[in-house]
Amino acid sequence: MARVQVYYDPVGNTLTVWFGEPQDEYVCEETGDEVILMKDRTGQVIGFEKLNFLMSTNANFVSSCLRGFLNHAPHYLPSPRR
């Protein structure tokens, strides 16, 4: 199973979630919904960043989004390394 890393920046108001290794980031793509997708060299999504995110008003949002993302978009997750 992939290791998920979650970082909240209260100064920049961003939530960053990594499904892969951050050092593998090659390119970023803005979705237009204040979300940036981080991709590796093959174009596979290895993380995302939500802009203008306030933990105080979105605490339940974090867990529900992660559950939804992991349940409904498994093709975004990197394959386990062998």
Domain boundaries along the sequence of the chain: 5-76
Q: Residue 32 and residue 56: Cα distance in Å, rounded?
A: 23
- Structure confidence at residue 53 (pLDDT): 87
**pLDDT mean across residues, the chain:** 79
User: What is the value of pTM for the model shown?
Assistant: 0.69
What are the pLDDT digits (tens) for 16-56?
A: 999 889 999 999 999 888 999 999 999 999 999 999 988 77
- Structure confidence at residue 11 (pLDDT): 92
